[in-house]
Chain A
């Protein structure tokens, strides 16, 4: 039986840390033996890893999630034996419709918001004489010095935060009606005649 002091000393974060360290250790051991440490030396792979770290924003992440969702979620719904065939068919149609609508709007809005932030977070050296709204081009730029990579990640973050705010509204204005229209289209086409 657990004593009062052991309950008092129990900390969720400590327990989670311990668990996570253990899982990580087992997983790390499984990755490769310490006798032959993996080294990525293929230049193409190294360039790809570098490119992903620098350029993959939340917009591309959303696109990847959407594409992989189309390859997995309809099949998960199709194998759900806890509902009857008609519900299952409708559920698959709605899942596909939701993924298409959600990915299209999610990607577009994130991309547009990141571009908008980029337009108003310029470094002084990036402002050209023929640019419009020259006075506003630095409004969203940070005041601290940073590297070009850090600035790019900053723009991605600010753009994503802006996109999340915009999507609270577009979720109802675009996604919901588009999902409904696509669901009806898919449900109509997949109906047994």
Chain B
């Protein structure tokens, strides 16, 4: 296989995998973004001659831990919320009037005075519109609606994970690492450090300037 056909394969794989599913692309490129960002932080510390070897031994594992929190939190939270949004549509819970009409004509939904309901004992967890034999009739409208709901779910999930869960977890993690370091510096037990007093603003700024990341909120690339 030559380079041209390899390149064509690559392009076609991207098209078939992410063309019909934009939310999936946003999650995967988001995870890749977090991973590369964390890897860049680790490399920045590793190649920085101004940081002593002893500090690198502390900073590199801290940065790896930090990166792991970012990647895992982003992936888990975002994909769970995106999947939930996706299932809302594919199970027929949430629909447009045309999709609802299609489900009613197919005998899945029943029109009532209040709106629509499902048959008694209907199991949403086993139902998927995409598996219906006459799905082709509603495919275009369904795909377009589902993609929109998926992207909204993905965006809501990434806001929750990147802007709320991750900063809280990172603050906790960074504070515990800071406490541990101060305890080691002062040769006392970690439990006795109430909170990290004793580190001057100058020292903190020096550390923060040397180290690209800070205890709170990572810079997603």
Contacts and interface: CB of A to CB of B under 8 A. Distances in A.
A161 interface: yes
Interface string A36-66: 1111110000101111111010100110110
Interface string A114-129: 0000000000000000
A157 B29 contact: yes
Contact of A102 (B196, B208, B220): B220
Contacts of B93: 28, 31-32, 37-38
Interface residues of A, number: 82
Contacts of A153: 18-22, 25
B148 to A, nearest CB: 3
A39 B97 contact: yes
B46 interface: no
Given A34-B122, A36-B117, A157 B217 contact: no
A172 B29 CA distance: 20
Interface residues on B, range: 35 or more
Given A38-B93, A38-B94, A49 B219 contact: no
Q: Is the interface of A mostly helix, strand, loop or mixed?
A: helix
Given A28-B124, A34-B124, A151-B19, A142 B221 contact: no
A48 B149 CA distance: 10
A94 B204 CA distance: 12
A4 interface: no
Nearest to B171: A80
Contacts of A35: 112, 114, 117
A157 B112 CA distance: 43
A177 B72 CA distance: 28
10 contacts: A20-B80, A34-B122, A35-B117, A72-B164, A72-B167, A82-B196, A83-B215, A160-B25, A164-B33, A172-B44
Interface of B: 8, 11-12, 14-16, 18-22, 25-26, 29-30, 32-33, 36-37, 40, 44, 80, 83-84, 87-88, 91-97, 100, 109, 112, 114-118, 122, 124-125, 144-152, 154-155, 158-159, 162-164, 167-168, 171-172, 175, 178-179, 195-197, 199, 201, 204-205, 208-209, 212, 214-221
Interface of A: 20-21, 23-25, 27-28, 31-32, 34-41, 46, 48-54, 56, 58, 61-62, 64-65, 68-69, 71-73, 76-77, 80-84, 86-87, 90-91, 94-95, 98-99, 101-102, 106, 140-144, 146-147, 149-151, 153-154, 156-158, 160-161, 164, 167-168, 171-172, 175-176, 179-180, 183, 187
